[in-house]
Amino acid sequence: MQLESTSLKNKFDSIIFDLDGTLWDSTGNVAIAWEKARQQVGYEVAPITRERVRSITGMAYDVIFEVLLPDMDVQQRDNFKAVCAKSEIDTLNEIGGDLYPQLSETIKYLSQHYKLYIVSNCQRGYIETFLSHCPVADHFLAHQCYGTKGQPKAENIKDIVNDHGLISPVYVGDTTGDRDSATKAGVPFIFASYGFGDVQEGLVARIDALAQLQELL
């Protein structure tokens, strides 16, 4: 764990979490879901592996398929995205993702001192799916995602801050996109290094495990 300042205790009134790469890792099961979708469509799509899913994790849901399938006909790509979206929610509702170690203990501890929220670039229904598999779901007071309004993560962070009257929030995420979104929203950023990205600058602290938030905050 690395601090950019001497202490972060008592500096914030709330914590906004990214989801993928911060609270859980669903990439393996998302790959399974998208492979099911690939086999349902009547046109050729390159195999979907966990590595391919990891490479686009954190991007806005529409952008994901533009990056994965840049040469595909737009109509086919939109169709494939829709089939993937349904397969993803159906699959994750059934088998979930991998919650990071000590998530329950950490969230229970943090909820005693902070208001907790989630903001993700995912599709509508994805955060709800995570919460259905999360044993401490009731500790998160609200959430917002790309799929709700189709707006950038920075705007969704601002919405959570404004809608809930947060005075001193901090955002926890694992990619440069998370950092940039938090910065645009005027919210300090804690980098979760155990996720999918690498952030060297623009952070107030780095954690190497989710449970380190108990010591940090």
CA distance 188 to 182: 6
Tens of pLDDT, residues 119-150: 999 999 999 999 999 999 999 999 999 989 89
**In the structure, what pLDDT confidence band is assigned to residue 213 with cuts at 50, 70 and 90?**
very high
Tens of pLDDT, residues 35-81: 999 999 988 888 999 999 999 888 888 889 999 999 999 999 999 99
> Longest C-alpha distance within the chain, in Å?
57
Residues linked to residue 120 through DSSP beta bridges, in sequence order: 145
Tens of pLDDT, residues 92-106: 999 999 999 999 999
The angle that helices 74-95 and 61-68 make with each other, rounded to 10 degrees, is 120
Q: What is the pTM of this model?
A: 0.93
pLDDT at 44: 86
What the chain holds in terms of domains, given with CATH numbers, is 2-25+98-216 (3.40.50.1000), 27-95 (1.10.150)
What is the bridge-based pairing of β-strands 205-207 and 189-192?
parallel
pLDDT at 79: 94
